[in-house]
Each structure stands twice: as structure tokens, then as C-alpha cells.
Amino acid sequence: MRVTIADVARAAAVSKTTVSRVLNAKDEVDVATGARVREVIARLGYVPSSRAVGLARGSSRTIGMLVPTLTWPWIGEVVQGVVDTVEDAGYGILLYTCNRGNESVRHFTSQVSARAFDGILVVEPENTLDTFTALHHRGLPIVLIDDRGHHPEFPSVATTNREGGASAARHLLATGRDRPLVITGPPHFGCVQDRLDGFRSVLPAGLIVKGDFTEECGRRAVEELLATATPFDSVFAHNDLSAAGALRAVRAAGLSVPEDIAVVGFDDIPMALHTEPALTTVRQPMRAMGEAAAGMLLAHLGGTPAPEEPVVLPTELVARGSAP
Amino acid sequence: MRVTIADVARAAAVSKTTVSRVLNAKDEVDVATGARVREVIARLGYVPSSRAVGLARGSSRTIGMLVPTLTWPWIGEVVQGVVDTVEDAGYGILLYTCNRGNESVRHFTSQVSARAFDGILVVEPENTLDTFTALHHRGLPIVLIDDRGHHPEFPSVATTNREGGASAARHLLATGRDRPLVITGPPHFGCVQDRLDGFRSVLPAGLIVKGDFTEECGRRAVEELLATATPFDSVFAHNDLSAAGALRAVRAAGLSVPEDIAVVGFDDIPMALHTEPALTTVRQPMRAMGEAAAGMLLAHLGGTPAPEEPVVLPTELVARGSAP
DNA sequence: CTGAAAGCGCTTACAG
DNA sequence: CTGAAAGCGCTTACAG
């Protein structure tokens, strides 16, 4: 059967207390005793039961992470950053998605109540703010990885969405474009407002079409504008997917990118390299966001107070063929 | 503080045993008593501690999942399938990646010894077969999600790689192509052998270039062949990434796709829709693989014996612009 | 139908 | 430097 601390204690002729001391590197153990215990541990291949340790200590060295879905192109990067950071610290990560909507969120919060983890990382809690506010007030350590960045009551990590929008505008302006079409994301997202504000602070855009982050919306926006012969010389889309749709529609209409119309996206997902031409875009450091968020949560669990201000990571304009 | 079973017992004026019975829906409880206990549970917002339950029961209702990385385009789909299935069953999923190589695998196996989970799901254990064989022999329930499919000693789920290769060949042949270039994946992968065998069983390929699943290898293979003026009328690449590289190189050389050279990939990752022209490819049902694997593991944990034969899911040729 | 008690495998005051 | 004992929050024979 499974090797327990009692087996080790017996084989080393000490008490469980002493084995526990060795395990947890308390320095009050005799050197020779310690060595003997360690030898037995190695020989028996003993590994403490995480459940028992967790129960006794009241914490689990596990964090929970909730994401909307794993199938969006940039989520994997964020989670990878989290997993790497968390592994370094010897923590585990329990993963949940909102794929089933409220059902999933309920499942997740019941795990919170079950104390399955010590703290949580949450990406984009659409319509679930109340839930997380309540958990936060109950004292659950939580860090938001938040595209919307407008919840000052939580520790969070975000990117410079406003500056990212501004950099897109500056880039277009510098290359002689001044009649842009802006295709936004869902308007209730804070990040969408920020990108738009930043862009307009540099380049007042007359043409603004409400989008929803899908390729479809990008394509349709361009098709409709071209159909009405509204003049524009460039597109700034609020994510790469809709930028790709716009780009495709421009070319399908017989116009060329970037000569007739330049296109700039946001995110820099892998696909951005594979459109024709490759997509100029505002890169968000997805993996770094995951690392930063996990680092903040772990620090908090380790006793460091959470930072007052959101951590904001820089975006970067990456110029490629669609807007050189 | 936290509400425990003792609090519930006290408030309902019964023993902890009875509360536990209600919690676990044993039918030996008086109806009125049961109702009263349930009412108290609801009023107090009591949720059992997963750690304590796990310790007492000897199982955790958690499964572990190990993947090579979360940044490959198809991994997210697989994990999403797993997460959905596992959530349905009321299980949690602890996620690990091999990002740090052997270091990560050690981290993972130590969690196994710590009984952090009841069973594991593993994708693509490159060079770690010994590790998992050992765990399997120790009695750990395990299901491989295995592109290589050549480990009959494990329960596993795979796809019809051989038939997938054959379908690519049939498609090319049916559209008048009979001088294909094949760009393989790493040759030690069973899936690569299968795709190659299937392809050649239909269309004996003279030109076979060893690749490594990167875009780079696809591009280089085509560039080198074009440089030596070796004639070929089509490309079958063992994944979409290298197919995209090949496609790009063909067009960069001034040839057209599919007129001069048709291109077929494998996987059907999201990017396949965004190459120019869109990529014809052999789709693997990634999410269904995750669902199937999770289902098998959960069934096993529930007492159903693991199937003798690997579960093999069908691939499907998706014709797009690159090889209509 | 119900409860007291032992046990799951650890940690942690407390005492020596 | 070391150990006996209580406790973490549950489940599960066992007895009634």
C-alpha cells in the first residue's frame, strides 16, 4: 500500500513529529537524525499526501483559474504563463472554464467554498463581477487578468490599451493615412473604450463601426462601407480576428492591402503572421500577463500585500505587410 | 470563520454522521430530519471541504492532465473537451505542462505520488514512456491522448492517421495530381508513420522530405526542391503549420496555388482558414478526443474496466482553396 | 433511523 | 533535540 509518514517514522525509529520536521526543513533536528530520516524517505519513495498536508495546514498550495474558454487563440499563452510561474513555486493549478455560462461559474464558486484552492486568477469575468466581488470580500485572494481594467477594487493586470490604440493611430498617420475606419469590439468592454479613446486622441476617426471581435464583423463592416462608396484609406480593428476579416473583404473587393487600404489589428495572435499580407498589429504580451498575475497572487498568498494600482503591461506595435 | 459539518450538525440538532448521510444522499435518513438538515445547510451556505472529504474517502474527484504546452494551436481544443467532460462529472482538473522538460515531468510525477488526483490524462509524452508505464503498473488510472497510438499497453484515444493520409492521397489523385511532395513530421512519431503509410498506399510518393512540424521546414522543403527544378504538382504536409510554410514558399516563387501546385495539410487548426488560399486539410477532431479520453478515464474511475482497444476517432478531409 | 468513535495522513503547540 | 497528543473536517463501520 501507500507509504505514509508513520511508515517512515517506524523505519527510521523516530516519531512522526520528527519526520514532519525533516520534511518541512525545521532546523531543530539533529544532523544525524535528519540524515537517517532523509535516507529512509528516499529508500521508501515517500511523498507526503497533499490532501493530508492541506487539511492539517489549512491551505492547499493550489490556485484556481477561471477562463472564458480555452479555444481562443491567446488564452493558451496566458494560461501557459500562469502554469510556468505556479509550477516554479511548487503550486498546482485547477482549471475551470465558463463554457457553460452561469452553470460553469456556479461550479467554480462551489469549488471556492470547498476550499479546493488558496486563491484564484480570473480572465474576463463577463457579467460575473458581483460573484467575484463577493468572494473578494469574503477574503479570497484574487487577481483579475482583465481586458477591461476598470475594477479598481481588485488587484489586476492589464495592458496599455489606450496607448496601444494611440500607437496604431500614430503609425497610420506616419504613413500618410488619415481617413481610418475603426472596427470596435463589444462596446461594454473597458479595453474597447480605451483603444478607441487612444486612437482618437491621435487621429479623429469619423468612421466607427461597432464590432464583436469576430472575423465576420470585420468583413461585413468593410463590405458595407465599400458598397456605399464611403471613402477610407485604412482600418483599425480592435482585435486581429476582425482585422483579418476586414483585410479579406478589402482584397475580395479587388482593392489591394496596403496600397489602397492599410489594415491594423490588435493582439498579435499567431494567425496574424499568416494573413496575406501579414497583419500589422498591436501586440499584447499575453504570456507576461499570465506570469505577472500568477506572481501577484503567489506573493499575496506568501504574505506580501497586493499592489494598490493595477499592473499595466506595455503593448507594442508590430509593423508587417498590411500596414508597413 | 468557515462553516463545518459540526456547525451544521449543531444547528440542526443531529450528529455529524447524519449530516454526512444527508450530504451523500444515503436513503436511511428520516424524511423530516433530512429536510431539516438540508435547510440548515442552505441557510449556513455550507459546502464540504474538498480536502477533508478527499482524505476521508481516499480519493479527490480530481484528475491530472499533462500536455506538452498550451501554446500549440490544437491543444486548447483538446483541453476544452476534457474540461467540459470533467466538469459535468463534478470532477476538477489539475493542469501541468512539460514546458520545462524533464523538470516539469518530475514535478508532475511527484504530484502523482502525493495523490493529488485520482487519475491522469496525458498528451504526447515525448520520451517519457517509461515514467508512465511505471505509474500505470503502480495502478494509477491513465489514458493517453496519443498522436502516436503505438502503446497498446495503455488505454488511449487516437485518430485514423493512416486513413487520413490515404484520404489526402485520394483527394489529390481525384483532382489529377500524381507527383506529390510529402513533408513529414518527426519520423519517430507513430502518427507520422501512419500518415505516410496511408498516403503511399494510395499514391506512391517519390519525394519525401523529413520535416519537424514547423512552418520553417515546409518553406525550406519547397524552396530547395524548386531550386533543383525537381518536378512536383502537389504537397502533402503532415501538419497545417508546415503546409502553410510550403504554400507560402510556392507563391513566393511566383507559382500559383492550387493551379501549379496543390497543398494539403493535416489537423485543421484555425489558421488553416486564413492562409491564402485557405488550406485543404485532414481534420482531426481535437475536442472530441479530449471528451473521449476524459470519458474513458472517468468511466474507469467509476469502475468500468478500460477498453482493450484504443479508441480511434475518424479524421475528415476538408477541401478548401489550396486543393479544391 | 441515529449516534459515538475511530480513522484518513498530516502539522503543531506543548512539555520535556 | 525529541515525542505524545490534539486537531484539521470529513466518512464509515459498528452498535443500538
Nucleotide minimizing C1' to CA distance for residue A16: D3
Distance B17 CA to C4 C1' (A): 10
Task: Say what percent of chain B tops pLDDT 70.
Answer: 98
Q: pLDDT tens-digit profile of B84-124?
A: 999 989 899 999 999 888 888 888 888 888 888 999 999 97
Mean of the per-residue pLDDT values of chain B = 91
Phi, psi of A223 (to 5 degrees): -55, -45
Task: Please say if the pLDDT value at position B7 is more than 90.
Answer: yes
B-chain CB neighbours of A2 within 8 Å are: 115
All three cell numbers of B124: 504526447
Closest CA to A121 of A167, A209, A62, A50: A62
Query: Which residue is nearest to the C1' sugar atom of D8, using CA?
Result: A56
Say which CATH architecture domain A61-159+286-313 belongs to: 3-Layer(aba) Sandwich (3.40)
Task: Please say if the pLDDT value at position A249 is more than 80.
Answer: yes
Nucleotide minimizing C1' to CA distance for residue A115: D9
Nucleotide minimizing C1' to CA distance for residue A27: D1
Q: How far apart (Å, rounded) are the C-alpha atoms in residues B251 and B235?
A: 13
Q: What is the CATH number of domain A161-285?
A: 3.40.50.2300
Closest CA to B135 of A119, A89, A225, A45: A45
Average pLDDT, integer, range A223-243: 94
Can you give the pLDDT at residue A113? 85
Facing A107 at nearest CB: one of B2, B87, B110: B87
> What CATH superfamily is the domain B60-159+286-313?
Response regulator (3.40.50.2300)
A80/B60 CB distance under 8 A: no
Q: Which of B274, B281, B286 is the best mutation test for A, with the most CBs of A within 10 A?
A: B274
Say which CATH architecture domain B161-284 belongs to: 3-Layer(aba) Sandwich (3.40)
Can you give the pLDDT at residue A276? 86
Domains A61-159+286-313 and A161-285 fall in the same CATH topology: yes
Q: How far is A170 from chain B (nearest CA, A)?
A: 27
Closest CA to B243 of B270, B214, B223: B214
- The neighbouring-strand residues paired with A283 are A267, A316
Task: Say what percent of chain A tops pLDDT 70.
Answer: 98
> What CATH superfamily is the domain A5-48?
lambda repressor-like DNA-binding domains (1.10.260.40)
Q: How far is B2 from chain A (nearest CA, A)?
A: 9
Could you tell me the strand order of the sheet in which B92-97 lies? A311-313, A156-159, A142-145, A119-123, A62-67, A92-97, B92-97, B62-67, B119-123, B142-145, B156-159, B311-313
DSSP 8-class letter at A208: E
Please report the sign of the dihedral spanned by the C-alpha atoms of residue A7, residue A10, residue A13, residue A17. Answer: positive
Can you give the pLDDT at residue B97? 93
Nucleotide minimizing C1' to CA distance for residue B16: C3
Asked which of B4-13, B106-115, B207-216, B274-283 is least confident by mean pLDDT, the reply is B106-115
Query: Binning pLDDT at 50, 70 and 90, where does residue A146 land?
Result: confident
Task: Please say if the pLDDT value at position B149 is more than 70.
Answer: no
Question: Taking CA B286 as the corner, what is the angle to CA B280 and CA B291, rounded to the nearest 5 degrees?
Answer: 155
Query: Which residue is nearest to the C1' sugar atom of C9, using CA?
Result: A52
Facing B111 at nearest CB: one of A80, A92, A113: A92
Facing A94 at nearest CB: one of B49, B76, B94: B94
Query: Binning pLDDT at 50, 70 and 90, where does residue B77 land?
Result: very high
Q: pLDDT tens-digit profile of A42-83?
A: 999 999 999 999 999 988 899 999 999 998 889 999 999 999
Domain residue extents for chain B: 5-48, 60-159+286-313, 161-284
Can you give the pLDDT at residue B152? 66
Query: How distant, in Å, are the alpha carbons of A152, B163, B181, B187, B299 from that of B286?
Result: 39, 16, 26, 22, 20
Facing A115 at nearest CB: one of B51, B71, B276: B51
Asked which of A144-158, A213-227, B114-128 is least confident by mean pLDDT, the reply is A144-158
Q: How far apart (Å, rounded) are the C-alpha atoms in residues A10 and B58?
A: 22
The long-range contacts involving B6-12, CB below 8 angstroms and separated by at least 24 positions, are: B7/B44, B7/B46, B8/B37, B8/B40, B8/B41, B8/B44, B8/B46, B11/B40, B11/B43, B11/B44, B12/B36, B12/B37, B12/B39, B12/B40
Task: Please say if the pLDDT value at position A274 is more than 70.
Answer: yes
Distance B23 CA to C4 C1' (A): 19
Asked which of B104-113, B233-242, B272-281 is least confident by mean pLDDT, the reply is B104-113
Can you give the pLDDT at residue A129? 77
Question: CA-nearest residue of chain A to B54?
Answer: A51
Residue type, B210: K
Task: Please say if the pLDDT value at position A125 is more than 80.
Answer: no
Can you give the pLDDT at residue A284? 96
Task: Say what percent of chain B tops pLDDT 90.
Answer: 69
Task: Please say if the pLDDT value at position B286 is more than 90.
Answer: yes
Q: Which of B70, B72, B117 is the best mutation test for A, with the most CBs of A within 10 A?
A: B70
Q: pLDDT tens-digit profile of B215-234?
A: 999 999 999 999 998 899 99
CB contacts < 8 A, A to B, total 130
Task: Provide CB contacts within 8 A for B277, sequence distance 6+.
Answer: B257, B258, B320, B321, B322
